[in-house]
Amino acid sequence: MTTARKNLANAIRALSMDAVQQANSGHPGAPMGMADIAEVLWNDFLKHNPNDPAWPDRDRFVLSNGHGSMLIYSLLHLSGYDLPIEELKRFRQLHSKTPGHPEYGYTPGVETTTGPLGAGIANAVGMAIAEQTLAAHFNRDQFNIVDHFTYCFLGDGCLMEGISHEACSLAGTLGLGKLIAFWDDNGISIDGHVEGWFTDNTPARFKAYQWHVIEHVDGHNPEEIRAAIAQAQTVTDKPTLICCKTTIGFGSPNKAGSHDCHGAPLGKDEIAASREFLNWPHAPFEVPDDVYKGWDAREPGARSQSQWQHLFQEYQQLYPELGAEFQRRVIERALPDSFAEKADLFINICQQQGQHIASRKASQNTIEVFASMLPELMGGSADLAGSNLTLWSGSKGISKDDADGNYVYYGVREFGMSAIMNGISLHGGFIHYGATFLMFMEYARNAVRMSALMGIQNIFVYTHDSIGQGEDGPTHQPVEQLANLRMTPNLHTWRPCDTVETAVAWKAAIQRQDGPSALIFSRQNLDHQSRDTQQVENIAKGGYILTDCDGEPEIILIATGSEMSVANQAAQLLNEADHKVRVVSMPCTNVFDQQSKSYKEHVLPKQVKTIVAIEAAHVDYWHKYVGSYGKVIGMAQFGESAPGADLLKHFGFTTENVINTVIDLKQQNMAL
């Protein structure tokens, strides 16, 4: 290895230890240990253009061990991205472009938010699925307009997390040959040497997953690293794991190889000693011009992108329809011009038909119509397709032998599915929906949160939405999950009450590009609700007046999903008894909260004190709407195992209980 190449890697080490020291916070060990691997990958193999971080056919790079964030910040800065040295000096400071863990949208060149260990490798699997499937959709002879690798760095912590098993097992089954992962085998985690708690035979594990495994690579020997990557690129029918033996904190004379450099600054004295050891006689944050020149990827990146652009222009001439579709789906990420109009037509048909079916079936009917308009719509389910009803007549499973499909059979992998969905969305070219029971959102919770945090489009489909599913019992009956989802910032959670609201929810989720949506559907049949044209339009506002009384209301009932019928029946009887009752449907509280003050006041006027919310979910969420004078008919305990109708009656979701609650509450409020 030449001195010049050593200095390229040492620049990463110096910037990483300087930034962590200045912030007095961070993880210098991983960047220093993986610097040699990163230098070879980025300078000899990675296809990217710092001037255009969103170039569609760039290679993707994911730092799954995201605590080592100064590694990727150093790489981005050195190779020419819009990440000036001042931002590295502001590592982990408020509003800097160098947050504590890599965050999508903050830093140009960061492909995904990584922090929760194992999530990054799952995201990388999703990106590789998207690349493989998109290539099958668009590539033609001599025109491989989709042809890039997904590279992922991961550490022992990522491999200990169960999500790595879920995602990597599926990656092997699908034969994702463009996925190359680098295991930073340094034997250290926060608590010390990992042999006390992590003795897996990792190469054997990945061979069992049907990965190509390259063992015993010296992570500080550029020639071995280079040979391993070159070999990995030739294996097209399997993902590859390159096992790199490294020393954490390489270059630190006294702390390398120990957990002392994992999650804390090296200290000024040790940094000085490291500079001497590495023969790096430069001041903090000082990088020599020749090192910058050695790293600069702007010119070769622009050249690679120009070559691709020329290929794509020829492709557009030979395949104009495919070229236009690629431009729309991948480059512009736009829906077909006719989608909104056709979706509205279907919504109006649903209103006219008035079907009495479960909302999960209404969801399947909607998918059938919308998917025929949207070739980018990709589906999936965690081994529950027959229960979630996520398949439509045009569904075709993606497989190792045939990637030209639009549906992922995820198996029982709720967490892996959701994190893989994040990777597919981040890659681009698809709108992805993935399904499981609402109860098992708990397995996937972190990935759902990460989708909302990143502000990326995903459609999480959750069926079997309440105690109303019955006999499976409390292990399968969600209670607190709806509140959990609704309280997640930037997540739109829809619980429709019939076929019409279901179609509107799907339309909203498909049109939304700045965050994910959760669609909550019932197992049991739901009554159709009568509406006029304006009411149908108002569904998209998240909450609206479904039925009203003559004059100003004295009582308001709020309901969602299957409880809407109970609310309407109670309102009808109360109005007949001269109580002025309004029924408000609130399919998406998150969207309703975003409406104007005047609209919200119109739907829920402040002068009405007697407000009752009715939902077979946790009571606490609804107090923000009913206020101190209102009441919630909901769940404050787990369910039971019994037929669904019996459970709903047992827990008070009956017309009689609603009426009694309203009358008692009205009397109490009148006495105040």
For 604-659, the pLDDT digits (tens) are 999 999 999 999 999 999 999 999 999 999 999 999 999 999 999 999 999 999 99
Question: What are residue 182's DSSP bridge partners?
Answer: 153, 242
Q: What is the mean pLDDT of the chain?
A: 97
DSSP H helical ranges for 156-297: 156-160, 162-174, 202-208, 222-234, 268-278, 289-295
Give the C-alpha distances (Å, rounded to integers) separating 10 from 17, 34, 73: 11, 11, 14
Catalytic residue among 103, 414, 554, 615, which? 414
pLDDT at 3: 86
618 is known to lie in a ligand binding site: no
472 is known to lie in a ligand binding site: yes
Give the C-alpha distances (Å, rounded to integers) separating 430 from 7, 31, 216, 396, 625: 41, 33, 37, 15, 36
DSSP letter, residue 143: B
In whole angstroms, give the CA distance from residue 585 to residue 560.
Answer: 6
Q: Are 33 and 248 in contact (CB under 8 A)?
A: yes
For 390-427, the pLDDT digits (tens) are 999 999 999 999 999 999 999 999 999 999 999 999 99
- Residues contacting residue 474 through CB under 8 Å, at least 6 positions apart: 638, 639, 640, 641
Coil, helix or strand at residue 152: strand
CA-closest candidate to residue 379, choices 118, 135, 209, 133:
133
Instruction: Tell me the backbone φ, ψ of residue 239, rounded to 5 degrees.
Output: -70, 160
Q: Establish whether 414 is a catalytic residue.
A: yes
490 is known to lie in a ligand binding site: no
Beta-sheet pairing, 188-189 with 192-193 = antiparallel
In whole angstroms, give the CA distance from residue 482 to residue 437.
Answer: 12
pLDDT at 626: 97
464 is known to lie in a ligand binding site: yes
Tokens of 476: 């399968």
546 is known to lie in a ligand binding site: no
Question: What are residue 143's DSSP bridge partners?
Answer: 140
31 is known to lie in a ligand binding site: no
Which sequence spans correspond to the domains of the chain? 4-302, 338-526, 536-671
In whole angstroms, give the CA distance from residue 408 to residue 417.
Answer: 9
Q: Which residue has the tokens 């760039």?
A: 58
Domain 4-302, what architecture? 3-Layer(aba) Sandwich (3.40)
520 is known to lie in a ligand binding site: no
In whole angstroms, give the CA distance from residue 646 to residue 626.
Answer: 27
27 is known to lie in a ligand binding site: yes
pLDDT at 577: 95
Whether the predicted pLDDT of 43 surpasses 90: yes
- Count other C-beta atoms under 10 Å from residue 368's C-beta: 15
Q: Are 414 and 440 in contact (CB under 8 A)?
A: yes
186 is known to lie in a ligand binding site: yes
427 is known to lie in a ligand binding site: no
156 is known to lie in a ligand binding site: yes
**Domain 338-526, CATH number (from 3.30.360.10, 3.40.50.10610, 3.40.50.970, 3.10.20.90):** 3.40.50.970
- Using a cut of 0.95, tell me whether the model's pTM lies above it: yes
pLDDT at 1: 64
Beta-sheet pairing, 431-437 with 377-381 = parallel
Instruction: Tell me the backbone φ, ψ of residue 143, rounded to 5 degrees.
Output: -130, 75
For 291-306, the pLDDT digits (tens) are 999 999 999 999 999 9
pLDDT at 203: 98
In whole angstroms, give the CA distance from residue 435 to residue 623.
Answer: 29
In whole angstroms, give the CA distance from residue 27 to residue 265.
Answer: 7
pLDDT at 672: 76
Angle between helix 3-23 and helix 69-79 axes, rounded to 10 deg: 120
Q: Are 592 and 652 in contact (CB under 8 A)?
A: no
Over residues 473-480, mean pLDDT: 96
Letter for the amino acid at 526? Answer: L
Domains 4-302 and 338-526 share a fold: yes
**Domain 536-671, CATH number (from 3.40.50.200, 3.30.70.600, 3.40.50.920, 3.40.718.10):** 3.40.50.920
CA-closest candidate to residue 559, choices 587, 581, 540:
587
370 is known to lie in a ligand binding site: no
pLDDT at 431: 98
Coil, helix or strand at residue 253: coil
- Residues contacting residue 537 through CB under 8 Å, at least 6 positions apart: none
Length of the chain: 672
157 is known to lie in a ligand binding site: yes
Over residues 12-28, mean pLDDT: 98
- Residues contacting residue 31 through CB under 8 Å, at least 6 positions apart: 12, 13, 16, 68, 70, 71, 74
Whether the predicted pLDDT of 2 surpasses 90: no
Q: What percent of the chain lies above the pLDDT cut of 70?
A: 100
- Residues contacting residue 290 through CB under 8 Å, at least 6 positions apart: 4, 7
Q: Are 554 and 603 in contact (CB under 8 A)?
A: no
pLDDT at 671: 83
CA-closest candidate to residue 61, choices 184, 158, 152:
152
Give the C-alpha distances (Å, rounded to integers) separating 576 from 353, 557, 569, 668: 28, 15, 11, 21
Whether the predicted pLDDT of 336 surpasses 90: yes
CA-based R_g, the chain, Å: 28
Over residues 263-289, mean pLDDT: 97
In whole angstroms, give the CA distance from residue 526 to residue 532.
Answer: 19
For 201-220, the pLDDT digits (tens) are 999 999 999 999 999 999 99
In whole angstroms, give the CA distance from residue 637 to residue 478.
Answer: 10
Q: Are 244 and 186 in contact (CB under 8 A)?
A: no
